[in-house]
Chains A and B, each alone.
Chain A
Amino acid sequence: MKLIEVVNVSKSFKGIQIFNQANAVFEQGNIYGILGPNGSGKSVLFKLICGFIKPDQGDIIIHPSYRSRRADFPQNFGIIIDRPGYAAGLTGFENLKRWAEIRNQIKDEDIKRTMRVVGLDPDARQKMKSYSLGMKQKIAFAQAIMENQQVLILDEPFNAMDVDSVKVLRELLIKYKQEGRTIILTSHNEEDIELLCDQVYQIRSHKLVPVNTMAKV
């Protein structure tokens, strides 16, 4: 099933071309990698997919089962884009709870369980302003998965994480793929791409160019 289609998308910012007639297809149940140097447009692609910004030309087509009439963004997507987000004066748990309260689909225990999965202590009273970057990244990861999101858009998901955490979260993503979830990620670490991805798109000359790769999962 074609879950996300990028069709002839062009996008520029202040005269700088990011995408020009770019095309890509993301099917359900696969892990996709997006490669490209800094500033090539990886985050822009994710923002386009999520509806945060609109293409100048072309379309982003999301499968109807992930759309809602009421909302201007895809449903059931978990995201990390650019860098983690947080309310500085709250604890990690309080941050996740505030996001969870918006849809009110999960209980406190679900949040705590997710925090443990990503390697955080849900009972820690430490405010997020004093978290390390790696810990903030784990909170970002937790909010992306805590509501059982079926599509994960992850921009550098393992950034600043320790080796053990990366290993655990890689295994988690593989498990999610086996469950039929769809994951699109970027990483500067070739090993992440090699280990996880079924297909890779490289951003080259403002286009998304498929790169053949073997999934080693």
Chain B
Amino acid sequence: MLKEILQEIRSKLSPKFFLSWLSLTAVLISFAVYRSRSYELRDSLDFFTFTIGSILPILFPIVSVLVLTISFAADIHHRFLTYTRMRRPIIETLNINFWANLVLTFIFFFCLIISLFIFAYYIEPLLGIANFNPAGYGLTTDNIAEDTYMRHTFTQFLRYGTLTYGIVYALWVGLNAGLFAAIGFVLVLLLRNRYLALSLPFVIYVVGIFTLSALGAEIYRPSYTIFPFDRIQSPIWTALIPFTILSVIVAGSLIYIKRNITKLGNLT
């Protein structure tokens, strides 16, 4: 199975995939550079959150689905998968597509976040683009490091090194992107209308934001648990709650699909 998943991943790693990643990285950096001129920032962490916290939290569920789930939906719509069925059990094909989809979406977002992180922490200081004034925030060289540890959720990891934080946070965003791609994947299988199926992850994300805000459970909003830059730091376990709930729902849907595979009209 691993061999087939790797083969599927290789077949999907097209120039379009790299171009999309490069374009999105370039847009986010350009936007951050443009906006940063109007602000005084504390440090590289501020610049990093600037690159991520602008449009990415809104685009996140859309891009997660666009990376690969959309092409999977097209393969179903054009009946490509139907013609694999006399060559390999359909459950195996779905498993391969599911994991390839999840891994590639993870890779896309991991690379995106790590690129933004490298730019903010290692390239921007060389270029001197941003306007830093930590003193304006009452910060000195003595207390600025301690301040970053307590600034946002996941910056707790800065204690273990800048790169550790960058990698852990990129992994976290990548995992969540994979999860939203997985939600799109199961919806494409369960719903006849592929446009509805592909839009629902975004609807779930937005409805989740408003519902949890209305219920006073803002720290569990998907936008906050994935991009925790507009509030004070929360314990890391709070971010795991919505992730775990959505993962359980996806796992349950996959079990349902496996048990009802011959009833799914999309695949015949």
Q: A residues bordering B, Cβ < 8 Å? A: 47, 50-54, 70-74, 77-79, 81-89, 95, 98-99, 101-103, 140, 143
Contact = CB atoms under 8 A, between A and B. Distances in A.
Contacts of B85: 50, 52, 73
Interface in B68-87: 71, 74-75, 78-87
B7 A101 contact: yes
A99 B75 CA distance: 13
A22 to B, nearest CB: 18
Nearest to A76: B86
A52 B7 contact: no
B71 A77 contact: no
Nearest to A82: B79
Per DSSP, chain A at the interface is loop
Contact of B89 (A73, A74, A89, A95): A73
Given A71-B89, A72-B89, A99 B84 contact: yes
Contact of A85 (B7, B11, B82): B82
A99 B79 CA distance: 12
A83 B89 CA distance: 20
A53 B263 CA distance: 7
Given A72-B89, A102-B84, 11 more contacts: A51-B262, A52-B85, A54-B262, A85-B80, A87-B75, A87-B78, A99-B87, A102-B87, A103-B87, A103-B88, A140-B83
Interface residues of B, number: 21
Nearest to B11: A98
Contact of A88 (B11, B74, B82, B263): B74
A213 B71 CA distance: 46
Contacts of B78: 85-88
B192 to A, nearest CB: 13
A51 B80 CA distance: 17
Contacts of B268: 47, 52-53, 81
Contacts of A79: 83, 86
A47 B82 CA distance: 10
Given A53-B262, A54-B262, A83 B71 contact: no
B262 A52 contact: yes
Nearest to B91: A72
B267 A52 contact: yes
B79 A50 contact: no
Contacts of B82: 52, 81-82, 85
Contacts of B87: 99, 102-103
A143 B83 contact: yes
Nearest to A77: B86
Interface in B140-168: none
B13 to A, nearest CB: 14
A79 B84 CA distance: 10
A84 B77 CA distance: 11
10 contacts: A50-B86, A52-B85, A52-B262, A70-B89, A73-B85, A73-B86, A88-B78, A99-B84, A99-B87, A140-B83
